[in-house]
Amino acid sequence: MTTFALDDASVFLVIGSGAAGGTLSNELAQKGHNVVCLEAGPRLDFGDIVNDEAEMFGKLTWLDRRMATGKPDPNFPVWGCKTVGGTTMHWTAACPRLQPHEMRARTTYGALPDTTLVDWPVTPEEIAPWYDKAEIRMGVSGKHGMPFLPPGNNFKVLEAGARKCGYSDIDTHNMAINSIDHDDRPACRQLGFCTSGCAVGAKWSTLYTEIPKAEATGRFELRPEAMATGIGLDAQGRVESVTYLSKAKSYTQKVRAVAVAGNVVETTRLLLNNRSERFPNGLANSSGLVGRNYMRHFTIQVMGVMPGKVHFYRQTHLAGVVRDERHHRPERGFAGGFLISTVPFTPEILAKNMLIGGWGRDLTSVLDKYDQLAGMLLTGEDPPQLSNGITLHPTERDGYGLPVPVIHYEDHPNTIAMKTYAWSRGRRIYESLGAEQVIEMGDFIPATHNMGTARMGTDPKASVCTPFGQTHDVPNLFVSDGSLFPTSGGCNPTLTIVALVLRQAEHIDGQLRTGAL
Ligand SMILES: Cc1cc2nc3c(=O)[nH]c(=O)nc-3n(C[C@H](O)[C@H](O)[C@H](O)COP(=O)(O)OP(=O)(O)OC[C@H]3O[C@@H](n4cnc5c(N)ncnc54)[C@H](O)[C@@H]3O)c2cc1C
Ligand code: SF4
C-alpha cells in the first residue's frame, strides 16, 4: 500500500472520493502524479453491502447535522453519502447527457425573471468527446457497444402508456450499470437494490472502479475517515496544506495543489469556513458567489395502481426513460424540460411519504395493491436564483465542531409551472392504460442532485471558477463537483460531472507537467 508523508509537498490532494473525487484521483494517478484522497466516510467492502435499504441507508448516508430554510425538509434537506465511493454508492446510475440548448440556457430561454441564467463557458462541441470518454469509462448502457439493459415490468407499463400518449423517444435509458459482464464486474442481476450500494458491483461506483484502479498505480493513497477542515495558504496566496480530522486527531498534509469534490454542500462549507485576511468572505470567494445560485432538480413522482401485477421493485430503479418532454417548448408555459423515468419505492417509503395527508383506507387500499403499482420519476430543470444558497450557521456546530451548513431553497415560478404540467403528463400515461388509481406525489425526496454554488465562467467577478474548475482567486485550488454547473439542465448530473472531471484532469496534468502548478 502506497503512503505519502505529511510533509511530502509533491502530493496532489483530492477531497472526497465520490463520482468527482474518485475519478479525478484515478485519472491523475494514471497520468503519473502523486495523489492523496481524503474521504470523510469509512471504506466498506462487498461483505458490508446487503440488499436492505434501511440498513444501507444507515451505513452510507451523510447524517451529520444540516439545516434548511424555505422549501426543503429542515432536518434532512440533501441526500448524499459519507463513505468511500461517495454518493455513487446510493445513486441509481442514470447517465443522460446535457442537451446543447441546456448549455445555452440564457440564449435559448431569454432573461427569465429573478434568475441568473447564463450560457455555459464550455460549449456542447467541447464537452462531446469528454462525454464519450466518461460513458466508456463508466460502461454506460446503450452507448459505445454496451447493450441496453433488459426491460422490466415497470418499464413495460411506462412504455406502453407513453406510446399511447404519443411519445416515441423511449428506451431502457443510458445507465452506468453493466448489461453484460464488463470491466471485471458482472452484469446486473435486476435485483432492484441499486440505492443499497449494489452487492454484486454491476453498478458503477468509484468504490469498485476508480479507487482500486488508482491504488494499482502505486501512486495513490486513500485516507478514509479523514474529514478535511482547513485549507492553508502561503504568503503568495497559494494553497500549501490541508488540515483534516481523523478519529478526533488533527493532521496537516503538505500539498502541491488541491481539488475539492465534497459534493456541493460540503464543498461550499469548506470554502466558506476558510476565511482569512486575504479572503474574509471565504476561500476563493472574491466574487461573493460561493454558496449562491444553488440548484437542485425537482424529483416528483406519479404512481399508478394498474389493473394487473407489475412488481415494480424487480428491476433496476431508473432503467426506463421517456425523453419527449425534455425539449424547450415555451408553449407549455415554462422554459426547459424534464425527463420521465421509472422508479420503484419500498412499502415503508410509500407509507411514509406517498399519502402525506392520507390515512386509513386511502393509505391501505394503495399498499394492499403494492404488487400492482407502477411508478415514474419526473426530473426537471431548475433555473439558478441568486437567493437560493448555502450559508454557515453563525452558532450551531456539528460533531466536528464545524459550523452547520444551512440550505435555503425556494422553487422558481418556472419550476412550479413545469411540475404542474409534468404531473398531468404522468397521470395521463397511467390513465391511458386504465389505471385503477393514479397518485401524484410531491417533492419529498431530499435533494439528490446538487449544483451551482461555485459556478464556472470566464469573468472572475461573475463566477468562482474558470471553465476548467480552477478557482479564479487561488491558482492551485480546483473545484471538481456539481458546484461548477452554471445551470442545471433537465437531467441527472453525474455523467456531466465525470466528463468535466476528465477534462479537468487533462488540464491539471498539463499544468503539473509545465510547472504552472
Ligand atoms: C438516491 C440517489 C440516487 C441518485 N441517482 C442518480 C442518477 O441516477 N444519476 C445521476 O446522474 N445522479 C444521481 N444521483 C446523484 C449522484 O449520486 C451525485 O451527482 C454524484 O455522486 C456527485 O458526485 P460528487 O463526487 O460530487 O459527490 P459524492 O459522490 O457525494 O462524493 C463526495 C464525497 O466527499 C466526501 N466529503 C465531503 N466533504 C468532505 C470533507 N470535508 N473531507 C473529506 N471528505 C469529504 C463525502 O463523504 C463523499 O464521499 C443520485 C443521488 C442519490 C442520493
Ligand atoms: S438491479 Fe442491478 S444495479 Fe441494481 S442492485 Fe441489482 S444488480 Fe446492482
DSSP 109-144: H---TT------SS-HHHHHHHHHHHHHHHT-TTBT
Q: How far is the CA of 174 from the centre of ligand 2 (A)?
A: 14
Q: Does residue 357 carry a pLDDT above 60?
A: no
- The H or E element spanning position 378 is strand 373-380
Q: How far is the CA of 341 from the centre of ligand 1 (A)?
A: 20
Strand ranges of the sheet holding 321-322, from the earlier edge strand across to the other edge:
170-171, 321-322, 338-342, 373-380, 298-305, 437-441
CB 487 within 8 A of CB 102: yes
Q: How far is the CA of 328 from the centre of ligand 2 (A)?
A: 33
Model confidence pLDDT, tens digit, residues 404-440 = 999 999 999 999 999 999 999 999 999 999 999 999 9
Model confidence pLDDT, tens digit, residues 436-469 = 999 998 777 899 999 999 999 999 999 999 999 9
Q: Does residue 356 carry a pLDDT above 60?
A: no
d(CA 483, CA 262): 9
Atom of ligand 2 nearest to the CA of 177: 3
Model confidence pLDDT, tens digit, residues 67-118 = 999 999 898 999 999 999 999 999 999 999 999 999 999 999 999 999 999 9
The predicted model gives 285-311 an average pLDDT of: 96
Strands 249-254 and 389-397: unpaired
CB 171 within 8 A of CB 151: no
What integer pLDDT is reported at residue 168 of this predicted model? Answer: 98
Atom of ligand 1 nearest to the CA of 317: 8
pLDDT band at 352 (very low <50, low <70, confident <90, very high): confident
The C-alpha cell at 72 is: 426543503
Q: Does residue 355 carry a pLDDT above 70?
A: no
Atom of ligand 1 nearest to the CA of 83: 49
Which residue from 177, 314, 317 has its CB within 8 A of the most atoms of ligand 2, so it is best to mutate?
177
Look at ligand 2, atom 8, and give the residue with the nearest C-alpha: 198
Atom of ligand 2 nearest to the CA of 196: 5
Q: Which of 45-54, 385-394, 468-477 has the lowest mean pLDDT?
A: 45-54
pLDDT band at 496 (very low <50, low <70, confident <90, very high): very high
Q: Does residue 323 carry a pLDDT above 70?
A: yes
Q: Which ligand is nearest to the CA of 46?
A: 2
Pocket residues: Cβ below 6 A from ligand 1: 15-21, 38-41, 79-83, 86-88, 90-94, 195, 227-228, 261-263, 266, 270, 318, 448-449, 481-482, 492-494, 497
Tell which residue, 52, 366, 255, 236, has the closest CA to residue 244.
Answer: 255
What integer pLDDT is reported at residue 359 of this predicted model? Answer: 63
Does the CA dihedral 171-175-179-183 come out positive or negative? positive
Does the CA dihedral 49-42-400-26 come out positive or negative? negative
Q: How far is the CA of 496 from the centre of ligand 1 (A)?
A: 13
The predicted model gives 375-381 an average pLDDT of: 97
Q: How far is the CA of 481 from the centre of ligand 1 (A)?
A: 9
d(CA 137, CA 158): 29
Model confidence pLDDT, tens digit, residues 246-289 = 999 999 999 999 999 999 999 999 999 999 999 999 999 999 99
Look at ligand 1, atom 27, and give the residue with the nearest C-alpha: 263
pTM of the model: 0.98
Domains in the chain (CATH in brackets) are 12-514 (3.50.50.60)
Q: Does residue 190 carry a pLDDT above 80?
A: yes
The half-sphere exposure of 303 on its side-chain side, counting CA atoms within 13 A, is 25
Pocket residues: Cβ below 6 A from ligand 2: 177, 188-194, 198, 200, 202-203, 316
Q: How far is the CA of 18 from the centre of ligand 1 (A)?
A: 6
Atom of ligand 2 nearest to the CA of 203: 3
**What percentage of the chain exceeds 70 in pLDDT?**
98
Could you count the other beta carbons within 10 Å of the beta carbon of residue 314? Answer: 13
Please give the C-alpha separations between residue 19 and each of 67, 237, 261, 267, in angstroms, as whole numbers.
24, 29, 9, 14
Look at ligand 1, atom 4, and give the residue with the nearest C-alpha: 91
Look at ligand 2, atom 6, and give the residue with the nearest C-alpha: 191
Q: Which of 48-62, 210-224, 294-308, 354-368 has the lowest mean pLDDT?
A: 354-368
Look at ligand 2, atom 4, and give the residue with the nearest C-alpha: 194
- Average pLDDT taken over every residue of the chain: 96
Phi, psi of 143 (to 5 degrees): -135, 145
Q: Which of 22-36, 205-219, 438-452 has the lowest mean pLDDT?
A: 438-452
pLDDT band at 514 (very low <50, low <70, confident <90, very high): very high
What integer pLDDT is reported at residue 351 of this predicted model? Answer: 77
Q: Does residue 358 carry a pLDDT above 80?
A: no
Q: Does residue 132 carry a pLDDT above 70?
A: yes
Q: Which ligand is nearest to the CA of 200?
A: 2
Residues constituting the chain: 517
- The H or E element spanning position 164 is helix 153-164
